[in-house]
């Protein structure tokens, strides 16, 4: 039995080696497909591997007569019509965990860059100015970190911040006391977190409850001069409220890797504010994560096709 796999994005060379060495699999890498051209190609394939650039619509699933599985190299599945997949018995898998170290490190990078005005200081230096007094920073040491949501990434952020001797508070209705104790973090309700945190970092999934959890009302409950980092999902923040409160000085600074609209629109008010640091959704973008993500998705797809179970399936049939 030879499985045919279509890969619609760039996976790392190391991951493709796994497919090359598999006796029972052949694959094609075709990038730049629209849903229409993907639908045209898909009929002969047993599995599809995507990242985030290709949208897998109902139309595609309708044409995918042989398709058994879709593997998303990465976490977010907004680009895949999961209901359409489920209707046809196609399993959709992602690769949580493969990006978590990369995201945890990026969160710390953003937090420290925020504390020390790093991008601004470098830009000024490049412009020929040696301006030290303007860029006096803040320490993390003995400050309080408030994590909103603590899954894999949040807990990795917590342990790193504890090495900086921060106190860590966590608001996460789904976290058990046991785990909180083991990780040496204090479980609190949202208001307590908002009232005590010097730094707030978001690590929650995007749900009805967490949509725009950072808004005018919650910002008002924060400490004056709080600093906020978001490398999770743009939609957790009301961007207009955020800009307002950074300008007012209530919020001392913000570092964002994710936005409600991506790519970030050129006229976004976030662009015009001095103490907002921005990166273009780089949290998972490390060489190591890309390698790991590629290896993980291929292994998951092969194992699934070979009847060894579908790991990290998002829509296992009952």
Residue 13 in the binding site for other proteins (CB under 8 A):
no
Q: Residue 283 Cβ, how far from other proteins at the closest point, in Å?
A: 9
Does 164 bind other proteins (CB under 8 A)? Our answer is: yes
Among 13, 43, 89, 137, binds other proteins (CB under 8 A): 137
Contact 94, 48 (CB under 8 A): no
**Side-chain-facing half-sphere of 284: CA atoms under 13 Å:** 21
Name which of 21 and 132 has its Cβ closer to other proteins.
132
106 in active site: no
CA–CA gap between residue 219 and residue 257 (Å, rounded): 19
Q: Does 119 bind other proteins (CB under 8 A)?
A: yes
Task: Quickly count: other Cβ atoms within 10 Å of residue 250's Cβ.
Answer: 15
Residues paired with residue 127 on neighbouring β-strands, in sequence order: none
Task: Say whether residue 225 binds other proteins (CB under 8 A).
Answer: no
Active-site residue, from 233, 245, 288, 299 = 233
Q: Which stretch binds other proteins (CB under 8 A): 23-31, 99-107, 181-189, 199-207?
A: 99-107
| Shorter beta-carbon distance to other proteins: residue 63 or 278 | 278
Considering beta carbons, is residue 105 or 238 the nearer one to other proteins? 105
- Residues 108 and 114: their CA atoms lie apart, in Å, by 10
Q: Assess contact for 232 and 258: CB atoms under 8 A.
A: yes
Smaller CB separation from other proteins, 197 or 264? 264
CB distance 236 to 214 below 8 Å: yes
Angle ∠(176,149,201) on CA atoms, nearest 5: 140
| One residue of 118, 179, 313, 314 binding other proteins per CB under 8 A | 118
User: Can you tell me which of 14, 139, 176, 181 binds other proteins, judged by CB under 8 A?
Assistant: 139
What's the closest the beta carbon of residue 197 comes to other proteins, in angstroms? 17
Minimum CB separation from other proteins for residue 99, in Å?
11
Binding footprint of other proteins, residue count (CB under 8 A): 52
- Annotated active-site residue 233? The verdict is yes
Q: State the nearest-atom distance from the C-beta of 155 to other proteins, in Å.
A: 12
With CB under 8 A as the contact rule, which of the stretches 57-65, 90-98, 191-199, 288-296 interacts with other proteins? 288-296
C-alpha–C-alpha distance, residues 151 and 293, integer Å: 18
- Least separation, in Å, of the C-beta of 104 and other proteins? 9
Task: Pick the stretch among 73-81, 110-118, 202-210, 294-302 that binds other proteins (CB under 8 A).
Answer: 110-118
160 contacts 108 by C-beta, under 8 angstroms: yes
Angle at 299 between CA 301 and CA 318, to 5 degrees: 45
In contact, 221 and 250? CB cutoff 8 Å: no
**Nearest alpha-carbon partner for 69 in 43, 41, 39, 49:** 49
8 A C-beta contact, residue 98 and residue 223: no
- Selected binder of other proteins within 48, 69, 98, 110 (CB under 8 A): 110
Buried b (16+ CB within 10 A) or exposed e, 101-134: bbbbbbbbbbbebbbebbebbeebeeeeeeeeee
Catalytic residues, by residue number, are 233, 262, 281
Interface contacts to other proteins, rule CB under 8 A: 101-102, 105-106, 108-110, 112-113, 115-116, 118-119, 121-126, 128, 130-132, 135-141, 159-160, 162-164, 262-264, 266, 271, 277-282, 285-290
């Amino acid at each position: 039995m030879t499985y045919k796999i279509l890969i619609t994005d760039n996976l790392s060379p190391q991951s493709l080696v796994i497919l090359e060495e598999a006796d029972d699999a052949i694959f094609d890498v075709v990038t730049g497909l629209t849903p229409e051209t993907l639908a045209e190609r898909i009929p002969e394939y047993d599995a599809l591997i995507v990242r985030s650039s290709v949208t897998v619509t109902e139309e595609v699933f309708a044409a995918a007569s042989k398709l058994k599985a879709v593997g998303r190299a990465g976490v977010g599945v907004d680009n895949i019509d999961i209901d359409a997949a489920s209707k046809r018995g196609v399993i959709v898998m992602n690769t949580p965990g493969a990006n978590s170290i990369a995201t945890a490190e990026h969160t710390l990078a953003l937090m420290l860059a925020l504390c020390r005005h790093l991008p601004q200081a470098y830009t000024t230096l490049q412009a020929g100015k040696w301006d030290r007094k303007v860029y006096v920073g803040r320490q993390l040491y003995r400050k309080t970190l408030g994590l909103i949501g603590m899954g894999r990434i949040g807990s990795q952020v917590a342990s790193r911040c504890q090495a900086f001797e921060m106190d860590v508070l966590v608001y996460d209705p789904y976290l058990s006391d046991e785990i909180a104790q083991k990780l040496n973090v204090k479980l609190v309700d949202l208001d307590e977190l908002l009232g005590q945190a010097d730094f707030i970092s978001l690590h929650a999934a995007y749900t009805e409850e967490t949509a725009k959890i950072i808004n005018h009302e919650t910002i008002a409950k924060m400490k004056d001069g709080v600093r906020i980092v978001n490398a999770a999902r743009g939609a957790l923040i009301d961007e207009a409220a955020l800009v307002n409160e950074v300008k007012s000085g209530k919020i001392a600074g913000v570092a964002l890797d994710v936005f409600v609209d991506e790519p970030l629109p050129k006229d976004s008010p976030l662009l015009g504010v001095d103490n907002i640091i921005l990166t273009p959704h780089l949290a998972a973008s490390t060489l190591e994560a890309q390698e790991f993500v590629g290896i993980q998705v291929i292994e998951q797809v092969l194992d699934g096709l070979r009847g060894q179970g579908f790991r990290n399936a998002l829509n296992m049939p009952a």
